[in-house]
Amino acid sequence: MTNDMARAGSVLARLNFNSAVALAVVVLGIVIWLLVPYQVAEPPVFFGRSSVGISPKLFPQMIAIGMVVIGALYFLASLSMRQISGFRGLSASAYVNLGVVLIAMLAYVALLRPLGYLATSMGVATAISFYYGSRNLVGIGLTGIAAPLVIYTLFTRYLSVSLPPFPWGS
């Protein structure tokens, strides 16, 4: 009985940041697996036959299984990793920077429908560039303006993927 407690204590002592990330990946995989039936609709059936050869639920379920397996393997590997947490040495400004990026991403999600993909992507990318101190107009133009334009064109014209358009017409 004491050996079991000693082994359990040693496992707890070996937990680190990688262990937490691995467990988060496993939990996310399980959540995705559980949500797939409610989030992915089956295609219409014509004359008693499915219009596609495979279920649209297959790939999300494969991703979920892969996340659980890789997360479990990562967790086992993390137990043998000896490292010091790098988060303890971070300054307060690093956490402020992280908070600013998280707020920018939440704003991006909130503004995507009302403003459309291009305007939202351009605004958020440019704002983040300015926040992190970039003053190079060419770099800001490439990441804040050209990249969203190229991505929008590729996805809508060549890949036939629908992205939220401009709110004022097409």
Q: Is 65 helix (H, G, I), strand (E, B) or coil?
A: helix
How confident is the model at residue 50, as a pLDDT? 64
How confident is the model at residue 65, as a pLDDT? 97
What residues contact residue 129 under an 8 Å CB cut-off, 6+ apart?
139, 140, 143, 144
Domain boundaries, the chain: 2-78, 92-158
How confident is the model at residue 149, as a pLDDT? 92
Q: Is 126 helix (H, G, I), strand (E, B) or coil?
A: helix
Contact 49, 80 (CB under 8 A): no
pLDDT tens series, the chain, 170 aa: 445 544 555 777 777 888 889 999 999 999 999 999 888 877 777 776 666 667 788 889 999 999 999 999 999 998 888 777 666 677 889 889 989 999 999 999 999 988 999 999 999 999 999 999 988 999 898 989 999 999 999 988 888 778 888 776 55
What residues contact residue 97 under an 8 Å CB cut-off, 6+ apart?
132
Using alpha carbons, list the distances in angstroms from residue 74 to 18, 19, 148.
Answer: 8, 8, 34
- Burial of 94 from C-beta contacts in 10 A (0-12 / 13-18 / 19+): exposed
Sign of the four-CA dihedral 59, 62, 64, 70: negative
Q: What are the φ/ψ torsions at residue 117 (nearest 5 degrees)?
A: -65, -50
